[in-house]
Amino acid sequence: MLIKRKALFPILRCPVTGQKLFKKRNEYEFKYYTKNRENMYDICNGVPLLIDDKSSIVSLQDLKSFKPLVSRKIYKGFFSFTKKLTSPSKTRTKENVNLLISELSNIKEIPKVLIIGGGTVGQGMDYFYTSSNIDLVSFDIYNSSNINFIADAHQIPLPKNYFDAVIIQAVLEHVLEPCEVVKEIYRVLKPRGIVYAETPFLQQVHEGGYDFTRFTESGHRYLFREFKLIKSGSTAGTGTQMLWSIDYFFRGLFRSRLIGKIAKLSFFWIRYFDHLIPEKFNIDCASGVFFLGSKSNTKLHPKEIPCCYRGSQ
């Protein structure tokens, strides 16, 4: 579960310099600052805002007002049912999370886990937020009850070689420089620490102006080239990808998001074909891909990447 604020403060770092942070508190201000006081960071309603306003895509002013960058609807009742019908928890994700938990169980002490983009609890991630056997740190670029602080994943304000595992689910498509984010993941992981990533391949644009990148399974593998492969593949295959396309086709044809969702609901059964289509064909037409690996002292050479292809061609 999320670590307490007292345990969080000693590990926070300046996102720009990596220096330890100090507290400054009086009647008028409550801030974190570096020893030379060159960089200072606000704490709003108890939430540290560890953002370098000069380099981040997010506005510090918006963060201070806790203005959400992207609206996220909360589905209830019938709409919650239809949401689960068209976008159910992925079987592959459950399997991968169980494998990750199994790997962490080999650690003698309580594992330290970092979730990047944890403002919304991702599919299959409930265990990390509820288990007393996990020391969890979570951050995002917006405020929620599921995070410890607000930060930009390009500059993770945490010490190197600290975490046993890092989880980054449905986030890398929303960052400007995925390679820089993966370098940060590598930095904060302990030797042989584990990373678990899920990233879209064939999905339409979502979250508007904050959606930038897609990866094939091979491209995803190269992104994590400094990690030893444990397991990789598709999280959702051809059927799920088709369902996305149906939604956006009817959305565009009728200029209506609602009609797109109705069409998606009408064809929800198509996603079950993911289980009938062999993995090598799903990889070529996956809705999303995943990578589970451990921090390594060696990295894949570019010439090795074509051999990592496991599709049907």
| Res 223: pLDDT | 98
- Summarize pLDDT for 211-220 with one digit per residue, the tens: 999 999 999 9
> Tell me, what amino acid is at 243?
L
| Res 110: pLDDT | 95
3-state secondary structure 45-70: CCEEEECCCCCCCCCHHHHHCCCCCC
Q: Do residues 154 and 181 touch, judged by C-beta distance below 8 A?
A: yes
What is the number of H-type helices and E-type strands within the chain? 10, 11
Give 77's pLDDT tier (boundaries 50, 70, 90).
Answer: low
Percentage of the chain beyond pLDDT 70 is 91
- Mean pLDDT confidence for 116-130: 95
Which DSSP letter does residue 143 get?
Answer: -
| Res 34: pLDDT | 80
Mean of pLDDT over the chain? 91
Cα separation, 265 vs 247, in Å, equals: 9
- Summarize pLDDT for 29-48 with one digit per residue, the tens: 567 778 777 788 988 888 99
54 against 195, higher pLDDT: 195
Cα separation, 117 vs 153, in Å, equals: 8
State if pTM tops 0.85. Answer: yes
| Span of 41-55, 105-119, 120-134, 287-301 with lowest mean pLDDT | 41-55
The CA angle 76-78-82, to the nearest 5 degrees, is: 100
- Is residue 79 scored above 70 in pLDDT? no
159 contacts: CB under 8 Å, gap ≥ 6: 11, 13, 18, 188
- Is residue 78 scored above 70 in pLDDT? no
Cα separation, 143 vs 75, in Å, equals: 19
| Res 84: pLDDT | 67
Q: Do residues 146 and 137 touch, judged by C-beta distance below 8 A?
A: no
Give 68's pLDDT tier (boundaries 50, 70, 90).
Answer: low
| Span of 74-88, 106-120, 272-286 with lowest mean pLDDT | 74-88
CB burial of residue 83 (10 Å; 0-12, 13-18, 19+): middle
Give 235's pLDDT tier (boundaries 50, 70, 90).
Answer: very high
| Res 259: pLDDT | 95
Domains identified in the chain and CATH numbers: 5-64 (no CATH), 84-308 (3.40.50.150)
| Res 74: pLDDT | 65
Q: Are strands 40-44 and 47-50 parallel, antiparallel or unpaired?
A: antiparallel
Phi, psi of 4, rounded to the nearest 5 degrees: -75, 160
